[in-house]
Amino acid sequence: MRLSVVMPVLDEAGCIRTSLERLRVLREAGHEVIVADGGSRDGTPDLARGLADCILDAPRGRALQMNAGAARAGGDVLLFLHADTRLPADVLEQLAAVFCTGSRRWGRFDVRIEGRHPMLRVVARAMNLRSRLTSVCTGDQCIVVARELFVRAEGYPPIVLMEDVALSKRLRRLGAMAALPGPVVTSGRRWENNGVWRTIVLMWWLRLRYFLGDSPRRLGRVYEAGPR
């Protein structure tokens, strides 16, 4: 198994070097790291140089950036990783248990949200449980998929929000999801900066509107505006 880690970034100067340094051990083991930049204005690509195997200029938007990174990937397993999320130390062993000895060809990790607010633990548990019940993942859980299956699914839909939900629905039609124990640890900055309860309500509201058929473009504008 050769792993390709695809990291979509936009103005991540504050954490990009630390994030990529954590992946050094994977690169030293022969795996690759691809950074897909969506037009950063804070020098993120320059800070990433020397710490990734490939740095791409991609159209802005996580779906487009991740598709661009996947198109350049040389591994047979793709792992989509946010810059503010870190992988478990035994990530390769967890992946090998699925992709080398199991029958499942895609999955995600349980997530833990890092932060001081006690509700963040509840949010993470709810995300993990919902994902197990529905086989729908969020980007914070680090979707991982065999490249041939990603191609069969036609990649991420080119939408501005809910791209991970849409990809999950495509993938679950092609095979069962693997729930890897992880945990991957993601930053709680979005929740804490905008208010934990307000962010929870916003995300559930967006998911409900998406389920009811609202336009991802319209929902993206609401998401960018943030909780009020």
Tell whether 137 is covered by a domain: no
Domain contains 202: no
Beta bridge pairs of residue 162? none
- For the chain, the domain total comes to 1
Residue 22 lies in a domain: yes
Q: Considering the domain boundaries, does residue 39 fall inside one?
A: yes
| CATH number of 38's domain | 3.40.50.1000
Residue-level pLDDT at 226: 58
* 96 found inside a domain: no
> Is residue 52, in this structure, part of any structural domain at all?
yes
At 63-104, the pLDDT tens digits run: 999 999 999 999 999 999 999 999 999 999 999 999 998 789
Please tell me the predicted confidence (pLDDT) of residue 18: 97
Q: In what order do the strands lie in the sheet with 85-86?
A: 54-57, 32-37, 3-9, 77-80, 144-146, 106-114, 177-187, 85-86
How far is residue 18's CA from residue 113's CA, in Å, rounded to a whole number?
18
3-state secondary structure of 212: coil
Q: What is the rounded radius of gyration, in angstroms, for the C-alpha atoms of the chain?
A: 17
**Full domain range(s) for residue 58:** 1-83
Residue 75 counted as domain residue:
yes
21-74 pLDDT, tens digit per residue, is: 999 999 999 999 999 999 999 999 999 999 999 999 999 999 999 999 999 999
Domain assignment present for residue 29? The answer is yes
> Cβ atoms within 10 A of the Cβ of 217, count?
10
Q: Each residue of 121-177: pLDDT tens digit?
A: 999 999 999 999 999 999 999 999 999 999 999 999 999 888 999 999 999 999 999
